[in-house]
Structure 1
């Protein structure tokens, strides 16, 4: 069953890329033959239809129906096809393309309308869930987006970006849910000081580079500035996500999180042993090992009886058998874990 699921996940995108590449190569050859054709206008019409109709049709059958992507992607697919057709065809053979371009404006309005409707549906579903832990914003937004959009990939990407932006803008006012079962993991590593230093460096470098590039290319200067601002929002959002999403020892599981980067639920029945690592221990990259720390060295290495799934950014998933992590209050964490699991904590043998 899993083999079929994996093959189905990769089959449709691979078939789409192969089909689109075939269409583009075929039309490139056809364009080069326009000057020798006895019916150049008819050939140009065929090229236009292939690029503006066949390619979006491939998107629909292989990605929307095959992979469950949201139908709204047909609009950017059609607009992109118009741009490609304009690049392929000579200016004197674009009569049919100009007719197709009349559809662009209505489709853009339809796409904007769909986005607004979907956004309102997501907002209603989020409000109906009521107030909740700010650390679960991403999961609540992802579930609402998946229910509205019908695409798990689109829901993960959209929820990650919105949650990151929300944490960057409004996370400063939110307070993490505190209690005997929650454990921070960023204070001892001076993660906040590092983020603050990076933000200051980003601001200083952005201003200097903007003024320097402005002399040669204002467009490049503003593009660089926009990317830098986006990067600063990323840094601020990542820090707030780390602050608002602590590690939790719950009734039946251990929830390990590193901001919005990794999240893994470990049922207590899957805990084989907990190893305490010596200071300065270096864990080499190995298959099945998840290094769930934001900065510095891990303090613990959790060994699992069976692999569990770790959730990463944008819907990335990994099967892990060992998890390296840390907490700011080790004594309290060890007491809480042993109270629920009773697994002894051993020292590192390395």
Structure 2
């Protein structure tokens, strides 16, 4: 049976499509007559969104703070539309926009810092869970989770670069030592100057701010890779209180009783990549490339928590580990 698309998903899809068109027109043809119509349509969708959130708030479905972010976007859009109006009205709109955005940024930063501090005092609770819970007061749960993951990923990268790489990995079954990412990371900084020169050569016709945005995206990608490796190291697989906890850094995680494992074996040999892909189709993969991969077959389906929340139920998992023999031995031992 085909899944039906919710009105909210259609609304957001239309919003981002119009936003992409508006951004393209503003970059390459700011004077295009279609721009004002696209901007007006975006504002109309934002008005509908704000009205729906106010209604849900009145009915007790969402907190009132959920209205703030769409309201800021609406003020931003109004500032663009009213920029051709009188100077007084434009300045008033600018002051309102800057004040609202600054207050929201300060509040979000305060909540993030408080969430991280609280997470340190709560064993078994990951920082991103606490940060996401705080951000859900402002954005939908999936967006809150993505924002929290990005903050923790970048924070892990900075901490790792400032000396965290000297720290020993926590106890558990690691899968960072044999990962291909470990071999790639030392060479990544050497590639940045070449990337900078290449981007400067091929993007000479672009606006300077757009060129710097491209350079910034390269640095961001490097930090993201460093953060991924840091979290791979910081979050090994563990067996605690009869539960198997599996992690792929911040990207994926799942926990279930060890007694639910029917079998744990290495993946079979395949003649080619197509056969491997067909065999693993639909199987959640908590795999760091370069490691040995094991296949776990479960008695009951589980949902792997990914970037956007729980995935589909599955009874087979692909798991990478540095020491497969030790991992398999631990799984075969009776729980205390």
TM value normalised by structure 2: 0.73
User: Structure 1, unaligned stretches of length 5 or more?
Assistant: 23-46, 343-350
Relative distance call for 1:332 and 1:270 in structure 2 (3 A) is same
SS, match of residue 127 in structure 1: helix
Residue 254 (structure 2) pairs with residue 252 (structure 1): no
Matched with 1:13 is 9
1:118-158: CA deviation from partner (whole Å, max 9, x where unpaired):
32133224323435779933334334434x54631232021
Corresponding residue for residue 162 of structure 1 = 151
SS of equivalent residue, structure 1 residue 166: helix
Residue 328 of structure 2 corresponds to residue 334 of structure 1: yes
Query: Structure 1 pair 133/16, CA: closer, same or farther in 2 (3 Å)?
Result: closer
CA RMSD of aligned residues (A): 4.0
Larger Rg: 1
Structure 2 Cα separation of the partners of residues 154 and 218 of structure 1 = 30
More displaced stretch, 264-273 vs 154-163: 264-273
Cα distance change of structure 1 residues 211 and 199 upon mapping to structure 2, 3 Å threshold: same
Q: Post-superposition shift, 1:160?
A: 1.1
Confirm whether residue 301 of structure 1 aligns to residue 295 of structure 2: yes
Answer yes or no: is the 8 Å Cα contact 1:70–1:154 preserved in 2.
no
Q: Is the alpha carbon distance of 1:277 and 1:53 closer, same or farther for their aligned partners in structure 2, counting shifts above 3 Å?
A: closer
Distance 1:229 1:222 in 2: 11
| Paired residues of 1:171 and 1:240 also in contact (CA < 8 A) | yes
Q: Return the alpha-carbon distance in structure 2 between the equivalents of residues 331 and 204 of structure 1.
A: 42
The residue number in structure 1 matching 2:28 is: none
Aligned counterparts of 2:132 and 2:100: Cα–Cα separation in 1: 24
TM-score (norm 1): 0.71
Partner of 1:192: 182
Distance 1:215 1:54 in 2: 37
Asked whether the 8 Å contact 1:135–1:241 carries over to 2, the reply is: no
Q: 1:48 to 1:187 in 2, by over 3 A?
A: closer
Task: Tell me the CA shift for residue 315 of structure 1.
Answer: 3.6
Deviates more, 1:314-323 or 1:246-255: 314-323
User: Within 2, Cα distance between the matches of 1:193 and 1:329?
Assistant: 18
Whether the 8 Å contact between 1:72 and 1:111 is mirrored in structure 2 is no
1:195-344 correspondence to structure 2 within 5 Å:
195-201=185-191, 203-213=192-202, 216-217=205-206, 219=208, 220-278=210-268, 283-285=276-278, 288-296=282-290, 298-315=292-309, 317-340=311-334
The Cα offsets for residues 42-96 of structure 1, whole Å up to 9 and x where unpaired, read as xxxxx9997687433211234676695932222343145336746xxxx9xx659
Q: Closer, same or farther in 2 for the Cα pair 1:62/1:320, shift >3 Å?
A: farther
CA contact 1:292–1:324 (8 Å) conserved in 2: yes
Q: Which moved more, 1:210-219 or 1:246-255?
A: 210-219
Is 1:74 paired with 2:70?
yes
Q: Distance in 2 between matches of 1:129 and 1:216?
A: 47
Moved more, 238-247 or 212-221: 212-221
